[in-house]
Amino acid sequence: MNENFSSVAVFQYSAEAQIIKGRLEAEGITVFIADNHTIDTDPLVSNAIGGVKLKVRKEDEAKAMEVLGSISKYSVDDDGVQIRCLECNSEKVELLTNVKGLKSFFFFSLSFLFTALPIYIKREYYCNVCKNKFKLQ
Ligand SMILES: [Zn+2]
């Protein structure tokens, strides 16, 4: 019982952490979620304790980071559903709104703002396959 774990990602909400956990487990990586219970009980505590941490065993760290990298390249909607191109149905869609660097940590709080201010923010997406640009309602 002396295994070493690495935190590979931090999320503000456990819903997002659960989605990513599922993706990692699909790749055969065992994932542990830290602080999950506390946050679900009181979302306001999330920031204070640093969010929901996804942890993996040390030996899985490199593979986990690789999987995380491939996930964050493409866009998901507010429910964590992969966004597909309206033209060719490809999943290789990127959000053009320029939040890329912030995305993994702040994406959900930004999404909340977008939802609260739907008139002001239009999210535009770009398909890497057919080069289609499109907007979603
Ligand atoms: Zn396309």
CA of 87 to the centre of ligand 1 (A): 5
Q: How much is the pLDDT for 69?
A: 75
Same domain for 99 and 54? Answer: no
Same domain for 92 and 36? Answer: no
* DSSP helix/strand/coil, 28: coil
Domain extent at residue 84: 72-137
The model's pTM is: 0.47
Q: What are 115-129's pLDDT values in tens digits?
A: 544 444 457 788 888
Q: Residues 6 or more apart from 16 whose CB is under 8 A from it? A: 52, 80, 107, 108
Same domain for 38 and 89? Answer: no
Same domain for 76 and 60? Answer: no
**Edge-to-edge strand order for the sheet containing 31-34?**
5-11, 52-57, 31-34
Same domain for 66 and 77? Answer: no
CA of 84 to the centre of ligand 1 (A): 8
Same domain for 23 and 34? Answer: yes
Using CA atoms, how far apart are residues 55 and 107, in angstroms rounded to an integer? 20
CA of 97 to the centre of ligand 1 (A): 17
